[in-house]
Amino acid sequence: MSDVRGGAAAPTTRPRAASPGLRRVLALGGVQVRHEVRTYFRAGDTVFFTFLFPVVMLAIFSTAFSASGPYGVRPDGSEVDAAAYYLPGMIAAGVLLSGVQGLGVEIAVERSDGTLKRLAGTPLPVASWFLGKLGQVVTTSLLQVALLLVVAAVLFRVPLPTDASSWATLGWVWLLGLAGSALLGIALSRLPRTGRSATAVIVPIALVLQFVSGVYLPFAQLPTWLQQVASAFPLKWLAQGMRSVFLPESSAAAEVGGSWDLAGVALWLAVWLVAGAVAARLTFRWGRRDA
């Protein structure tokens, strides 16, 4: 080990503004993804409140409202029951929880307990750290969506889409929404002043959005002004995009404006993705420098 230490002849390194090589950024991003995913599943509280929460809510709503409805009629004449109706909302809520709530709380805690400060002292590129967080969210959200689909299909007999275009829509709405949600979570992690207050600051934001965006309450039943407010936030569009995947075409009539408006979904999710990326990049600090 002593052979790498230079003696007096060791050349002085001048600070280099050059960014680390892309290969190194990606390789260390991979290292971070592994570490982040492992850490995620070992923290019991996040696994419950972020990962399993939408599954639990789907089970409760599907059971509680099993006698009500129907929430729509499919072309083959079968009725859309509570489980089928709430599935898209819970997938959308899970995407929001994974990014905004999961990352927002997790990073605030890591900033406060010194985890980020320690990483700041290592040669880990910031870009690799971002990749690690995004990779964690993509991995855990994929598993969560899969779990929701299995629970819905097996326990509640919800028919899943059979055409490729529905699955493709699910794919892009999920990816666009998740990337935006993750970047917003990274930006929001700057809000709590301490790790202890992180849950108290961030959970209500996610909770209010879920109530006004058509996850728990049918969106069309909200007063117009509240619909307009909710339409400024991404979850409303995410939930709408997910409904277009799982509900029959006839249900589009119940949407505000009478259609799924996938162009609007793409546009608004893209706007929030860009806003999240800019906010995350501008506000990110390893620590509270000089606090």
Would you count residue 117 as binding other proteins (CB under 8 A)?
yes
Please, which residue, 6 or 77, has the CB nearer to other proteins?
6
Verify binding: residue 287, other proteins, rule CB under 8 A.
yes
Residue among 10 and 263 whose Cβ is closer to other proteins: 10
Measure the CA angle with vertex 172, ends 167 and 178; round to 5°: 120
Under the criterion CB under 8 A, does residue 212 sit at the interface with other proteins? no
The one among 26, 31, 147, 275 contacting other proteins by CB under 8 A: 31
CB atoms within 10 A of CB 100: 29
Name the minimum Å distance from CB 277 to other proteins: 22
**Rounded to the nearest whole angstrom, what is the least distance from the CB of residue 220 to other proteins in the complex?**
43
Structure tokens belonging to residue 168: 């493709």
Is 23 a binding residue for other proteins by CB under 8 A? The answer is no
DSSP 193: S
Is residue 120 involved in binding other proteins (CB under 8 A)?
yes
How far apart are the C-alpha atoms of 88 and 169, rounded to whole Å? 12
* Contact call for residue 14 and other proteins (CB under 8 A): yes
- Given its phi and psi angles, is residue 183 left (phi above 0), alpha (psi -120 to 50 degrees) or beta? alpha
Q: Which two tokens stand for residue 234?
A: 């991404």
Q: Which is nearer to other proteins, 120 or 160 (CB)?
A: 120
To other proteins, the closest distance from the beta carbon of 102 in angstroms equals 15
Q: What separation in angstroms does the CA of 45 have from each of 7, 49, 53, 161?
A: 50, 6, 11, 33
How many residues interact with other proteins (rule CB under 8 A)? 40
Contacts of 64 (CB under 8 A, 6+ apart): 82
Contacting positions for other proteins (CB under 8 A)? 1-2, 4-8, 10, 12-18, 20, 28, 31, 35, 38-39, 42-43, 109-110, 113-115, 117-125, 287, 289-290
